[in-house]
């Protein structure tokens, strides 16, 4: 395991992040406590120090187990959790990005995790109601109080993140050090705005869903696996909306590359994400320690330029307006006066 600086900060995080939405059985499909401990131990033994949870995951059990498992070596781990999602149905102030929900959610997470501070506190999703100034000032207050060290934002449009960080910079508040987004070979739309924004602003990117909710493992392409095994049945429910011919064709190409280099499809799919430009840190989760062990083996190799090209071709998307418009030969000629091929861009 190697380590990356988290955005513009000096924080060192492992090149893979352990996702803990599968820690605990409250939602009917996660790992029991004993297996959850094995998953955590497997990750730590490999050198992993970056753990991602949320106050909502398995109704709080994820935070309780994670806090218990790392208590003896709390300082070693970069502990990330989130707030925003509803913790009490019917109560409008038990969800959202506003200061009241931030404070009560943070206090609840600190108690469940059994810690005095959170290393990285994520806004879980944007609510489109709370002013961005309120969010950034409230987060900065918690940083100044010593309850959180760094802040990040998940599942939020690029224009909001950019505005938030500009406000933070101008007013001396703590900016977002990273974003969390859905990114995989079958979900590449973040390449339009979010990834270029993160690269330009020097933000880290943690990615969820990098296996395409299991589609990229190839298990849905094999007729022998259909209706067999708990993981496959659960996966079909989770990934049902993704089981279309385009995505299955991408999964077949992933499996073909995996076969050629004698690796698992999961390792190939994770490495395609890992090898994209920028500070990219895939989140890996598992229901069993053996699944995590397989995913961790993606660290043992890199995909060749040929294989990256094949996977890119199989999954590429149209960037749409204005990106495709501005990259057109005619418009590029007008913008640069025919000199673009002569200009070296060290920031590319």
Active centre residues (catalytic): 57
- Is the distance from CB of 123 to CB of 135 less than 8 angstroms? yes
Of the candidates 210, 204, 208, the residue with the CA atom closest to the CA atom of residue 184: 210
Helices assigned H by DSSP within the chain: 33-45, 61-70, 99-113, 132-144, 158-171, 194-201, 230-239, 245-261, 265-274, 289-296, 305-315, 323-326, 329-336
- Is the distance from CB of 85 to CB of 56 less than 8 angstroms? yes
Q: How far apart are CA 235 and CA 63, in angstroms?
A: 24
- Cα 244 to its chain centre, rounded Å, is 23
Write out the DSSP string of 13-61: EESSEEE-TTBSSTTSSSB-HHHHHHHHHHHHHTT--EEE--TTGGGGH
- Given the DSSP bridges, would you call strands 148-154 and 204-208 parallel, antiparallel or unpaired? unpaired
Which pair of tokens denotes residue 109? Answer: 């997470």
Q: How far apart are CA 237 and CA 137, in angstroms?
A: 40
């Amino acid at each position: 395991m190697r380590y990356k600086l988290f955005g513009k900060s000096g924080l060192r995080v492992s090149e893979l992040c352990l996702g803990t939405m599968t820690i605990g059985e409250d939602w009917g499909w996660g790992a029991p406590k004993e297996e959850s401990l094995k998953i955590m131990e497997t990750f730590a033994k490999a050198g992993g120090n970056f753990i991602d949870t949320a106050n909502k995951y398995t109704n709080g059990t994820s935070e309780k187990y994670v806090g218990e498992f790392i208590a003896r070596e709390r300082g070693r781990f970069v502990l990330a959790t989130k707030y925003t999602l509803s913790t009490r149905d019917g109560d409008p102030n038990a969800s959202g990005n506003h200061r009241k929900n931030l404070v009560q959610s943070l206090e609840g997470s600190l108690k469940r995790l059994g810690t005095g501070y959170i290393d990285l506190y994520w806004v879980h999703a944007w609510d489109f109601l709370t002013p961005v100034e309120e969010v950034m000032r409230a987060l900065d207050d918690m940083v100044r109080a010593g309850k959180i060290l760094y802040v990040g934002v998940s599942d939020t449009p690029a224009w909001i993140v950019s505005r938030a960080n500009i406000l933070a910079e101008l007013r001396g508040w703590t900016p977002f050090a990273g974003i969390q987004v859905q990114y995989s070979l079958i979900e590449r739309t973040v390449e339009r705005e979010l990834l270029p924004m993160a690269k330009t602003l020097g933000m880290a990117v943690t990615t969820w869903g990098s296996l395409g909710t299991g589609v990229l493992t190839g298990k849905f392409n094999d007729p022998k696996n259909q209706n067999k095994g708990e993981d496959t049945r659960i996966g079909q429910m989770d990934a049902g909306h993704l089981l279309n011919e385009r995505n299955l064709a991408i999964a077949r190409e992933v499996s073909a590359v995996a076969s050629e280099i004698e690796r698992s499809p999961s390792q190939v799919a994770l490495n395609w994400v890992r090898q994209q430009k920028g500070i990219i840190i895939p989140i890996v989760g598992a229901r069993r320690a053996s699944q995590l062990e397989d995913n961790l083996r993606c660290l043992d190799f890199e995909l060749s330029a040929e294989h990256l090209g094949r996977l890119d071709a199989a999954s590429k998307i149209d960037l749409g307006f204005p990106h495709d418009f501005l990259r057109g030969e005619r418009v590029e000629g007008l913008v640069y006066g025919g000199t673009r091929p002569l200009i070296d861009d060290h920031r590319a």
